């Protein structure tokens, strides 16, 4: 159930709309709630932090020489223990939404980068498994950042095209599903930050819409939320393989309706679970390589005008890796996960297992 200002939140319209009718008032009324509007304005007044592997700890106490952080790509989630991790965050969200859930009692935090309504229901169950456990009465603080009004203002108001089809873009259906899921669950979700849709939209001189923020960082000790963007050095470990899993997971039945496993809470290790990619995906990638940069944006992004300057480069690096590793067994030998532990210097090193032993090889942060 959703709570605002410590009280259960109920929409003034409890009826379920029929197909083609206006959406439930739940989303609209939350966006207009004075307390959430005020909280969002406060969040938007915070200067966005530019995160790199070298600067991520600059705001930490001097005693924290090697701050620990966890970064999430699209469709990933991670639950972190504040005793082991200083920061957790995500970025590169345009039509996607970053969701953070924090247990007020034990400080456990789960963050997910959600891009489709299809993974919301199971995704929340995955996120809450370690945050809540069996304590369904726990008070959970919720922050949502990302998603913007990626349809024209007229379509955003009307929702209906002349042929009777809904024109909600990508962000609106996702946000609607997130709130509907929270409202029907038994846990107590205290919405704290709602920087989505109209609250996260700005326009250029040609009236093209853009998200104001694409990501955030949470300081685990306090639960403080900070607008943030990351560079390649801080999107680690195993950047390319994790990006590839996002594309491949749509063809892999093992991940249907799920967020991608990424991080082991108890050991503070990244454990990248295996994902299968098909020859079909390889052939698609080979055909995409001949496209111009503008066509790559149009074909590969839900919001071509709103992507970051490195979007096309990241896509090309991913495709090159896939073509060089067409057999997924090359990346996941013996169907085993790729495992990374922290190094003393604050980076990551890959763990290789042989029978009952293991050894590590340091890797660069990026």
Residue 357 confidence (pLDDT) above 80: no
> Does 166 score more than 60 pLDDT?
no
| Burial zone of 60 (CB within 10 Å; 0-12 exposed, 13-18 middle, 19+ buried) | middle
Q: With bands split at pLDDT 50, 70 and 90, how would you rate the model's confidence at 160?
A: very low
Per-residue model confidence as pLDDT tens digits over 237-272 = 999 999 999 999 988 999 999 999 999 999 999 999
pLDDT at 109: 98
- pTM of the model as a whole: 0.88
Q: Which residue has the higher pLDDT, 256 or 167?
A: 256
Q: Residue 84 and residue 77: Cα distance in Å, rounded? A: 17
Name the residue with higher pLDDT: 46 or 364.
Answer: 46
Residue 149 — very low, low, confident or very high, per pLDDT cuts 50/70/90? Answer: very high
In tens, the pLDDT along 82-94 reads: 999 999 999 999 9
Report residue 169's pLDDT band, with 50, 70 and 90 as the boundaries: confident
What is the C-alpha to C-alpha distance for residues 208 and 195, in angstroms, rounded to an integer? 19
The answer on pLDDT for 58 being more than 70 is no
Instruction: Give the pLDDT confidence score for residue 164 in this predicted structure.
Output: 44
Task: For residues 28-37, give the mean pLDDT.
Answer: 96
Rounded Cα distance, 50 and 225, in Å: 14
**pLDDT of 63 over the 50 cut:** no
- Band (pLDDT 50/70/90 cuts) for residue 227 is very high
Q: What is the mean pLDDT of residues 53-80?
A: 74
Peptide bond into 350 cis (omega under 30): no
pLDDT 10s digits, 258-311: 999 999 999 999 999 999 999 999 999 999 999 999 999 999 999 999 999 999
Q: How far apart are the first and last CA of the chain?
A: 40
Domain total of the chain: 1
Q: Closest Cα partner for 70 from 54, 91, 88, 90?
A: 88
Signed CA dihedral, 262, 123, 9, 174: sign only: positive
- Round the average pLDDT of the chain to a whole number and report it: 87
Which one-letter DSSP state was computed for residue 201? E
Q: What is the pLDDT of residue 360?
A: 57
Whether the per-residue pLDDT at 312 is higher than 80: the answer is yes
Query: For the residues 104-109, what does the mean pLDDT come to?
Result: 96
- How much is the pLDDT for 345? 75
Stretch 113-126: mean pLDDT, rounded? 97
Q: What percent of the chain lies above the pLDDT cut of 70? A: 85
- Cis amide bond preceding 237, omega within 30: yes
Task: Please report the pLDDT score of residue 340 as a whole number.
Answer: 97
User: Looking at residue 344, what is its pLDDT?
Assistant: 80
| pLDDT score of 65 | 61
Q: Please report which confidence band the pLDDT of residue 66 belongs to, taking 50, 70 and 90 as the band edges.
A: confident
For the chain, the residue count is 366
The DSSP output letter for 94 is S
List the domain range (segments joined by +) for residue 169.
Answer: 2-363
Q: How far is Cα 255 from Cα 260, in angstroms, rounded to an integer?
A: 7
b/e map of 123-161 (b: 16 or more CB within 10 Å)?
Answer: bbebbbebbbeeeeebebbbbbbbbbbbbeeebbeebee
H or E, element range at 140: strand 139-146
- Reply yes or no on whether the pLDDT at 364 is more than 50: no
Q: Please, what is the Cα angle at 17 between 16 and 23, to 5 degrees?
A: 110
CATH code, domain with 311: 3.30.1330.200
* 8 A C-beta contact, residue 194 and residue 40: yes
């Amino acid at each position: 159930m959703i709570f605002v200002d410590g009280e259960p939140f109920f929409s003034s319209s409890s009826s379920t709309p029929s197909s083609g009718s206006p959406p439930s008032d739940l989303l609209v009324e939350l966006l207009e709630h004075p307390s959430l509007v005020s909280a969002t304005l406060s969040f938007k007044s915070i200067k966005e932090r530019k995160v790199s592997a070298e600067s991520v700890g600059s705001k930490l106490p001097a005693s924290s020489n090697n701050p620990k952080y966890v970064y999430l790509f699209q469709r990933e989630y991670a639950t972190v223990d504040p005793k082991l991790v200083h920061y957790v965050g995500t970025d590169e969200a345009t039509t996607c939404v970053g969701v953070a859930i924090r247990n007020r009692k034990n400080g456990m935090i789960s963050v997910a980068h959600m891009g489709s309504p299809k993974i919301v229901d199971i995704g929340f169950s995955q996120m809450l498994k370690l945050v809540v456990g069996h304590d369904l009465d726990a008070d959970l603080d919720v922050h949502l950042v990302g998603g913007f009004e990626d349809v024209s203002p007229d379509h955003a108001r009307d929702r209906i095209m002349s042929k009777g089809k809904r024109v909600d873009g990508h962000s609106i259906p996702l946000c609607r599903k997130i709130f509907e899921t929270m409202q029907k669950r038994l846990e107590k979700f205290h919405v704290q930050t709602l920087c989505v849709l109209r609250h996260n939209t700005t326009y250029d001189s040609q009236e093209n819409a853009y998200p104001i923020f694409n990501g955030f960082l949470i300081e685990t000790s306090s639960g403080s939320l900070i607008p943030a963007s990351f560079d390649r050095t801080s999107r680690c470990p195993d950047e390319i393989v994790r990006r590839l899993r996002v594309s491949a997971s749509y063809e892999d039945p093992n991940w249907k309706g799920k967020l991608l496993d990424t991080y082991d809470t108890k050991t503070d290790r990244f454990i990248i679970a295996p994902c299968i990619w098909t020859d079909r995906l390889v052939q698609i990638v080979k055909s995409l390589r001949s496209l111009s940069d503008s066509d790559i944006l149009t074909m590969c992004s839900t919001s071509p005008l709103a992507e970051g300057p490195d979007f096309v480069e990241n896509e090309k690096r991913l495709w090159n890796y896939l073509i060089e590793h067409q057999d997924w067994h090359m990346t996941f030998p013996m169907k085993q996960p790729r495992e990374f532990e922290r190094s003393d210097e604050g980076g990551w090193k890959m763990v290789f297992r042989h029978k009952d032993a293991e050894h590590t090889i340091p890797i660069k942060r990026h």
